[in-house]
Structure 1
């Protein structure tokens, strides 16, 4: 195994922190009571009501897979790459549910689309980073 450069570890830490924030947001979302949802703006209530259960599962796969994948990169583990690919697939499924099946853009607005776009870009970047780590021999065993 070649020693990974400091910038690689720094980006893995940043990715881990990003995904841990995603885990916190997901946990907070799961803890919303019907009373909490009732206090949201009407558009957000409609978004919650229309969201399929499998979209929640996709979100869980995205954030947990991302956090585990970034942890794997920190420890030089090759399995980080497939976990980050799985995380990216979770993001894509979540986005499909939010923007194709449900009118997330119309219900939540352009800020939600911008945030989800950023989530997608980070997911793609983390997959590319892990792939580079495998190719360069920074991620082995």
Structure 2
């Protein structure tokens, strides 16, 4: 049995990797919508949400960009079975942490969205941590190299 056949990932590896890529592409789309929001679109939002979008510091926007672009790249690298996926996903997780520190603790998003506004940040953080674990497991099992 060749090494390529022996270390072939199970079918669920592909499912997880593709779903994770789709999740991160949705994050990229959310970032692009926020980054390129027109004044007209912004004015259509409730006043409290307008304040959230107009007062985002550049470092928080940069963290958002790093989180989603590196997340999408990391998942693509998983699909391509490249070990560097773990490092790229770790950079994405750092972006997530910085972005969530701003969103949860420094902005008034909880006042605007209420307790339900915590669901998405928690989900994003859990998925980011899961992808680091998943990439490490894939390296350990020899599925990516």
- TM bin, normalised by shorter chain, reads over 0.9
Q: After superposition, what is the alpha-carbon deviation per residue over 1:44-77, rounded to whole angstroms, capped at 9, x for unaligned?
A: 1121133111111111111111111011111110
TM-score after normalising by structure 2: 0.91
Q: After superposition, what is the alpha-carbon deviation per residue over 1:15-54, rounded to whole angstroms, capped at 9, x for unaligned?
A: 0000001111111111112232122112211211331111
Q: Secondary structure at the match of 1:77?
A: coil
**Structure of higher RCO (CA pairs closer than 8 Å, 6+ residues apart):** 1
Structure 2 unaligned regions, length at least 5: none
**Between Structure 1 and Structure 2, whose CA radius of gyration is higher?**
2
Give the equivalent residue in structure 2 for 1:127.
132
Cα contact 1:46–1:107 (8 A) shared by 2? no
Give the one of 42, 46, 53 matched to 2:51.
Answer: 46
TM-score after normalising by structure 1: 0.93
Aligned length: 140
Instruction: Please list every run of at least 4 consecutive aligned residues from structure 1 whose deviation after the TM superposition is greater than 6 angstroms.
Output: none
Instruction: Compute the RMSD of aligned alpha carbons.
Output: 1.2
Give the equivalent residue in structure 1 for 2:73.
68
